[in-house]
Amino acid sequence: MLRHVLIGSAIGALTAAAACASFSADPGPGMSAPDADVEANAPDGGSAWAPCATRPKHDQAHFCDDFDDTSVGITTQWSGTLLTDGGSLDATAQALTPPRAMVSFISAGNTGTEAALHEIFDQVGVAAASRILVDFEVRIVTPPTVLDGGSNYSHLTVLDFGPPECVTLNGGLRQRAIELSFKTAKGFGGDLKGLQGCPDGGPEDYVSFDTLLTPASFMDRFHRVRLEVNRTSCPVTDGGTTPFSATVTIDEERVACVGIRIDPFAAAKPLNLHLGVYTGPGPEHSEQLNIYDNVQVTIE
């Protein structure tokens, strides 16, 4: 059980009595619940993580960071950081694979707060690919909660494909992205924005999926999350009627597959991966802290 996490003098020592909850929720019709006994170690499905230092230097098609190179900073391997007031990134020894992992922390408040790494991938390589795999391990130490009666959400990761064809949310927001989040009213889920296609000025292009998995489900240990974007359909959920899809698995068990109608590989700008906590403006949100380890991106 995780008892304490040191993430630098700016934040100090945080103590978390992490709930030893296992995945027991029913993810929905046609989908099996994740098994808590599955080893959450390697994105390739094996039982052991191959350290990034033993692999060929990462390029535009393959990215790997296990945060274990102590000769460099925790953000060195990435294109940059996305930090706002109240957000911080640091190293911790509470890692799935020693010696360290990455901590994303945001303090409580009522404005949009972010503490994330981001990595940019060349659009030429993405356009020629048949699938995109994003794998990482995450353990939630301080989960999002509802404060002052407000509803709250917290991103785990965002895959940003570039500008969409039309408005994707009320108020004129334009995004083409897949977001994996915790929503305090619904649990773990995601949003697909700008990926279904619509006429200019047409209806919102915004599709969501939800599961019954709660933040407490991710507090007992590290859990492996995979987001896979494919040039194939979702045969179970949409009968193969869409040409592309996004599939989410946790500890090698599928929890969602959502059909995509327009080509996500043909975006007008480079693919951008965000990894870390983000919560939007609105009712006051709680303090949140996630630990990430063993990040791998494959574009092939």
What is the end-to-end Cα distance of the chain in Å, rounded?
37
> The CATH number of the domain where 121 resides is what?
2.60.120.200
Sign of the torsion formed by the C-alpha atoms of 133, 127, 260 and 185 = positive
| Predicted local distance difference test score (pLDDT) of residue 25 | 30
Provide the domain count of the chain.
1
> What pLDDT is recorded for position 203?
62
Q: Which of 127, 130, 125, 119 is nearest to 64 (CA)?
A: 119
Render each residue's pLDDT in the chain as its tens digit; 300 residues. 222 223 232 333 332 232 232 222 333 323 233 333 223 334 443 447 889 988 876 666 789 999 999 999 999 999 999 998 889 999 999 999 999 999 999 988 777 789 999 999 988 788 889 999 999 999 999 887 765 445 567 889 999 987 776 666 666 667 889 999 987 667 899 989 888 877 555 567 888 888 888 888 899 999 999 999 999 998 766 566 789 999 999 999 999 999 998 888 887 688 999 999 988 766 677 889 999 999 999 999
Cα-only R_g, the chain: 18
- The residue range of the domain holding 162 is 4-299
| DSSP-assigned letters across all residues of the chain | ---EEE--TTT-EEE-------------TT-PPPPTTS----TTSSSS---GGGSPPP-SSEEEE-S--TTS-TTTTSSEEEE-TTEEEEEES--SSTT-EEEEEE-SBSS-EEEEEEEEE-HHHHHT-SEEEEEEEEEEEE---B-TT---EEEEEEEE----SS--BTTTB---EEEEEEETTTEEEEEEES-S---TT-S--EEEEE-S--GGGGSSS-EEEEEEEESS--TTTSTT-SSEEEEEEETTEEEEEEEE-S-GGG-SS-EEEEEEEEE-SSS-B--EEEEEEEEEEEE-
Q: Would you say 109 and 71 are in contact if contact means Cβ atoms under 8 Å apart?
A: no
How high is the pLDDT of residue 41? 39
Q: What are phi and psi of 110, to 5 degrees?
A: -130, 20
Residues 6+ apart with CB under 8 A from 85: 111, 113
At 40, give phi and psi (nearest 5°).
-105, 70
Give CA–CA dist 292/11, Å, rounded.
Answer: 17
Question: Which of 224, 286, 272, 271 lies closest to 251, judged by CA?
Answer: 224
Q: Which of 154, 155, 163 is nearest to 193 (CA)?
A: 163
